[in-house]
Amino acid sequence: MPFSLKPLSNQVIVITGATSGHGLCTAQMAAAAGAKVMLAARDESALRRVRDEIRASGGTAEYVVTDTGIEAEVNHLAAETIARFGGFDTWVNNAGIGVYARILELAIDDHRKVFETNYWGMVHGSMAAVRYLKDQDGGAVINVGSINSDMGGPLLAAYNASKHAVKGFTNSLRIEMMMSRYPVSVTLIKPSAIGTPFTEHGRNTTGYQARLPRPIYAPDVVAKAILDAAQHRRRAVTVGGGGKFQVLGAVMLPSLFDRIAVKMADALIDRNTPVEAVEGNLYQPQGNDGQTEGRQRGRRFSSFTAARRHGWMTAGAIAALGTAGALILRRRSNTRSLSAPRRSGAA
């Protein structure tokens, strides 16, 4: 059924993982645009601080302490939002955690915990949101995946697998909303490497300091994509042209990408900076929330991502991707030609 989404100034937005990174940035930007914001995370002191900062800036915000891996707490979040604001228009499933570890050294309990938050937290939020939004005039469910939803890589196996699962569920949910003719827009946001505190918050058993691979983008680039999807029906948005090119390589040249990805570990850990095992916030907050950016800062603009919000840039972005794809295929063809054995003699 046809429906439209409200402008931010008329919306109530629920955001999980709202006390750091692009979740926090999204909350701040939404409130600045006039939206009423319900903040959700596990760290109450950080939630209280973020709420108070938004209110001090003239915005409207409330919070509910929520572990998204626990369905009852997510349902409570939905109920409290309805009670305090009279309903909601957009639900952003953003909460996420990770573990830096080789697969054979990755504890099964850690693996399960990543899925409880990244996958099951997203499922719980999506279900709570849809149960309410399906009977409204129009609303949005926005799930934050990753470019890792489309490709693999070393040292973050649990995280990568959970983001593949986020993509699979989100795509299926979108199809069922269309099938049922519910007025619910379902968007998958796929950030590239974003300069959030993810490396500081992640559990790390590699023995070396975790880091982000370049190119790195700033959290507000993701926040803009999320808030665009809250107002305009988007299917999926990759944040950062650098990440899109990585995915393009993984899809078009998977065997070559695997060989290149073997060396990706050096981009994810700094072997010049040994560290003891880092507990991270996998099982509980560490009291270091409240920041949008981490120790690595990112660029604050992506032409590729902006193309999804500004129609005049779309043709240029598509042309650039097409040219890149053609170059990759041409190089592949040339490589095959050079490696093929030459025949001697007449046919």
- Six-digit token pair at 186? 């379902």
Mean pLDDT of 251-269: 93
The rounded distance, in Å, linking the Cα atoms of 66 and 34 is 24
pLDDT in tens, 115-139: 999 999 999 999 999 999 999 999 9
* Cα angle: 289, vertex 295, 296; to 5 degrees: 125
Is 201 in contact with 118 (CB distance < 8 Å)?
Answer: no
pLDDT on residue 343: 42
pLDDT on residue 330: 57
Which residue in the list 119, 132, 159, 217 is annotated as catalytic?
A: 159
Strand partners for 278? 204
pLDDT in tens, 13-70: 999 999 999 999 999 999 999 999 999 999 999 999 999 999 999 999 999 999 999 9
* Cα angle: 265, vertex 197, 286; to 5 degrees: 110
3-state secondary structure of 294: coil
pLDDT in tens, 57-66: 999 999 999 9
pLDDT on residue 242: 85
Which CATH architecture is the domain 8-335 placed in?
Answer: 3-Layer(aba) Sandwich (3.40)
- Is 217 one of the catalytic residues? no
Q: Is 19 left (phi over 0), alpha (psi -120 to 50) or beta?
A: alpha
